[in-house]
Structure 1
Amino acid sequence: MIGKIATGKSFRGCMQYLHEGRLQENEELQKLEMEKKQAEVIYYNQCFGNKKELIRQFVEVSKLNPNVSKPVFHMSISLAHQDANRLDRQDKADIAAALAQKFDFADKQYVVITHADTDHEHLHIVANRIGYDGPTASDSNSYKRMAEFCREMERSYKLTPVLSPNKFLKAEQRVAQSQRVDQRKETLKKHLGHAIKQCANIRQVKNYMEKQGYAVELGRGIAFTDQQQVRFKGSQVGYALLDIENKLKQEQMKQQQQIQQQKRQEELLKMQQQERKQSHGITR
């Protein structure tokens, strides 16, 4: 069993991805993506309803503590191939409940979602770190705590111990996974390139990237989280904050030079036209 955990800002982005899959180019492709995903909510805790209702409920409760910038807990549990069909619906709900106890959100909102779009069984848990009362669920030492939890569940349910996510994958699948990460980086770089050409400052870049579906963290550095909750620092794709600011200045200088060059060309054209008029007048 392999567990992953991430914190995030947007319940909407997380829920939309888990219910609808990756964002597609048109409605027909999006429908096919949803059919492939086969998302099913198998357990609700202190919440209920369809995707929109869940988002609204989670967001409303998260407003009780506006000081927490990342109220979203998104966890995934993946089983080894040989453990397929070992767990029933109740087992999965019980594992999620044990996870909620481990990470202190048992008294808070969470849902358990299963998918059928991969060749190994897995489930997702989306939880609100903020509750109606009590402290915010902590994300400290989350990777260590998740690893300990997975080992406990493997023993409790007699599952195959899996210490590395790569053990889920064949050699060619590992290459494909690496290419998928690279593609995400290339897509991010492409969007940033467009942003720099269209924006005058870093705030406008932030707004542009958010419209493309990224959550943007802007402070002493910059980082981007896509709709699949994959996070990249700007420096990982060659766009550290300082690099972006320098590129913005270069782009502005380039645009100013182009404007000046265009003006010179227009002035030269006017001079040539005047000279022709004068030449025609002399000839006459």
Structure 2
Amino acid sequence: MMGKPITGRSFGGCVRYVVNKQDAKILSADGVRMQSANAMINDFNLQRQMRPELGKAVGHLVLSWSKEDLLKLSDDIMVERAKEYMDKVGIKNTQYAVVRHSDRAHPHLHLIYNRVDNNGKTITDKNNFAKNVKACKEITLKYGYHLGKGKDLVNRQALKGKEKVKYELYDAIKAGMKTATTWKQLEAHLARQGITIAYKYRSGTSEVQGISFEKGDIKMKGSAIDRSLSYGKIDSVLNRNQQVQQYHAGIEEHKPSLADQIRQAISQDVGSEHHHRPGSGKGILETLLEPEFIAAAPDPMGDADKRRRKRKKYEAEHAQSQSSGISR
């Protein structure tokens, strides 16, 4: 079993990417409604508001198994393994949803969770990579899942010379590929570890034909380090990372801002006198707290404090106007 932990900013982008994918199957959820992506997004965002200053409140994890394990993994068992993983890495007392995808040959699931827990505390993402590796290895050994013969299992401390450098290159490149979305980002990540990239171009053209990596006085082709590190395969991973990042960004260019929605709601409320009379319709507070209103609001970002102060001001003014209306 392997895991890929991700943190993001937009529950909207993440949930739609995971839940609305063809053949996606919601296996389990806690604290969020399962009937639609919009309902789930609304529930995640509602709890997120307890920590509006936390930009990256979205926890997203991909758990994958070898295709040899397919017969061992019913939906119920995958949910159990996801819960066991969460317990091992410290994802507790929070909202989550487990969704299985069937778009690849190997069985895998997506876990979306709220980094703002049920008590308003932040679930740390510190040392996510190390905790992920440890938890996956423990679960793999415990249940006898397929154990690959890849480079991840090689004892690095026993290596020397060129073979040691080969695995240092492998580890550094693989780590960089987890987060990089462009070749420049991967180059910058490797440069910090003393590794440079050399591109081989097709004769007389600007088309990249191959790639090599160099550390110290040792230079090796990507495919010689590992078959997964050829130019074409790395480029595919970077493109996929970029696509996932765009989903997480949740860019909604035409949606009005939360401040604009509040101003519009207040304008409508003030313009209708019957809203000031008890029992004769919904006031601004009721409107702001409706699920449809909250679901339409963008995720809270860095200006959350400013929005909160404005909202309090609007609520105070509305309460005063209601009091004046009743006294008449």
What's the TM-score, normalizing by structure 1?
A: 0.55
2:101 and 2:230 map into 1 onto residues whose CA distance is: 21
The equivalent position to 1:43 in structure 2, one of 16, 19, 28, is: 28
Corresponding residue of 2:236: 180
What is the CA–CA distance in structure 1 between the aligned matches of 2:77 and 2:240, rounded to whole Å?
A: 34
Structure 2 spans left out of the alignment, 5+ residues: 153-170, 175-225, 255-328
Q: Which amino acid aligns with 1:82?
A: E
Hey, what's the Cα distance between the residues in 2 that align with 1:183 and 1:68?
A: 27
**TM-aligned CA deviation for residue 15 of structure 1:** 0.8
Instruction: Return closer, same or farther for 1:117/1:63 CA change in 2, 3 Å cut-off.
Output: same
TM superposition shift of 1:77 = 0.7
CA distance in structure 2 between the partners assigned to 1:123 and 1:186 by the alignment: 20
Match runs of 1:6-85 below 5 Å: 6-21=6-21, 34=22, 38-49=23-34, 50-85=36-71
Residues 121 and 108 of structure 1: CA distance in aligned 2, closer, same or farther (over 3 Å): same
| Distance in 2 of aligned mates of 1:186 and 1:46 | 30
Q: Offset of 1:92 from its aligned partner?
A: 0.8
Counterpart amino acid of residue 125 in structure 1: L
- Alignment root-mean-square deviation, CA: 3.2
For 1:243-262, what aligned pairs fall within 5 Å after superposition?
none
Q: CA deviation at 1:52?
A: 0.8
Matching of residue 113 in structure 1 with residue 99 in structure 2: yes
Deviation at 1:105, TM superposition (A): 2.7
CA contact (8 A) 2:69 2:145 kept: yes
Alignment of 1:1-284 (within 5 A): 1-21=1-21, 34=22, 38-49=23-34, 50-133=36-119, 135-162=121-148, 164=152, 177-181=233-237, 183=239, 210=251
Q: Hey, what's the Cα distance between the residues in 2 that align with 1:44 and 1:157?
A: 24
Offset at 1:172?
Answer: 8.3
CA distance in 1, matches of 2:89, 2:70: 26
Corresponding residue SS for 1:85: helix
Kindly indicate whether the alpha-carbon contact (under 8 Å) linking 2:5 and 2:129 is maintained by their aligned counterparts in 1.
yes
2-structure distance, mates of 1:132, 1:46:
9
Separation of aligned partners in 2, 1:106 and 1:90: 19
Contact 1:61 1:132 (C-alpha < 8 Å) held by counterparts: yes
Cα distance in structure 2, aligned partners of 1:127 and 1:74: 6
Shift of 1:112: 0.4
Whole-Å separation in 2 of the counterparts to 1:140 and 1:85: 34
**Counterpart amino acid of residue 87 in structure 2:** Q
1:200-240 CA distances to partner (integer Å, 9 max, x unpaired)?
xxxxxxx9x94579xxxxxxxxxxxxxxxxxxxxxxxxxxx
| Structure with bigger gyration radius | 1
The one-letter code of the counterpart of 1:98 is: E
**Residues 102 and 11 (structure 1), Cα distance of their counterparts in 2 relative to 1, 3 Å cut:** same
Distance 1:79 1:174, change over 3 A: farther
In structure 1, what is the Cα distance between the partners aligned to 2:53 and 2:234?
36
Return the letter of the residue paired with 1:59. N
Residue 131 of structure 1 deviates from its aligned partner by: 1.9
Instruction: Give the corresponding residue for 2:207.
Output: none
| 1:80 to partner: Cα distance | 1.2
Cα separation, partners in 2 of 1:181 and 1:88, compared to 1, 3 Å: closer
AA matched with 1:11: F
- What SS does the corresponding residue of 2:71 show, helix, strand or coil? coil
Unaligned runs of 5+ in 1: 22-33, 192-206, 214-284
Length, aligned pairs only: 176
